[in-house]
Amino acid sequence: MSEINLALGAMEFGTRIDEKTSFALLDQYVAEGGVWIDTADCYAFWQSESGFGGQSEELLGRWLAQRPGVREKVRIATKVGWEPLVVDGFPEQTEGLGTAAIDAAVETSLRRMGIDHIDLYWAHRDDRNTPMDETIAAFGRHHAAGTIGRVGLSNWALWRVERARGLAANLGVVEPTAIQSRYSYLQPRPFVRGHVHDHRFGWVTDETLDYVENQPAWDLWAYTPLMSGSYEREDRPIHQAFDHPGTTRRLETLSKVAAELGVSRSTVVVAWLCGGTPPIRPIIGASRREQLAAAIEGARLDLGTDLRTELDRPW
């Protein structure tokens, strides 16, 4: 089975999504050629009675322990930076990206998942209260120790990404090589706040695409690519940030292409993301097997030049 350019989002595993369902989705994903599993040390504090995260990583640890040999087939990506320090402390009182926070989070994530290294370690957000060289040096030390592999930056402004890269080069430590932000086929109106979970720089822009396209070793990951089911479900209305004529035209085109191919609109969106320039790795937070199957179908679907041109035509 060939690898698919699709990450499985484990955010709600162990909280909203129960263990049996989570295990089934993980098994399905791996059986279909899935490799990357994306989580965070803070998932999902807002759904936990404790007010703190860790449930997703703990569930992944139980799944890995009950599937001998599967660790060699999958790569684990987790994050640091947003775990609340006190109940109801998010977002003001969170762990941040200081040395002590990163050291503690790496140790905790490894213990929860029962693994000896994290394949891709994300700075979940930019912590401007901590000197960036402190953050980069801490990541570098863990990379040198073998506890983390690659480093990624999520919800960072591009100028800060480039500064982090320069600092890493100057310090002689591992440089970040991945960006994670929100992205989908529909695009919000410029400068509309509140549509990306209050992450000011949490949306892929043309500048992001250009940056990654010109950095061959870099990966671009997209969270919420299917807009929480809004492409398929009438009870999940599209956010008002997307209320503009371009959305109307894009939805019409998306529906036309999906009907022509005999697949869902979500499948087409995944295909559009995976097969674009640069290719984007969507993070799929499925809660049902059919949702994951549709996304996997999209990851394998070649839209061809004509359909992609139609989907990309000016608004």
Which 3-state string (H, E, C) describes 78-115?
EEECCCECCCCCCCCCECCCCHHHHHHHHHHHHHHHCC
Q: Coil, strand, or helix at residue 220?
A: strand
Are the CB atoms for 171 and 137 separated by under 8 Å? yes
- Residues with Cβ within 8 Å of 100's Cβ and at least 6 positions away in sequence, in order, are none
For residue 84, give the amino acid letter.
P
User: Which entry of 43, 121, 185, 223 is annotated as an active-site residue?
Assistant: 43
Determine the Cα–Cα distance for residues 271 and 301; give it in Å rounded to an integer: 6
Alpha-carbon distance of 154 to 113, in angstroms, equals 21
Identify residue 185 by its one-letter amino acid code.
Y
Number of other residues whose CB lies within 10 A of the CB of residue 107? 12
43 is an active site residue: yes
The residues carrying an active-site annotation are 43
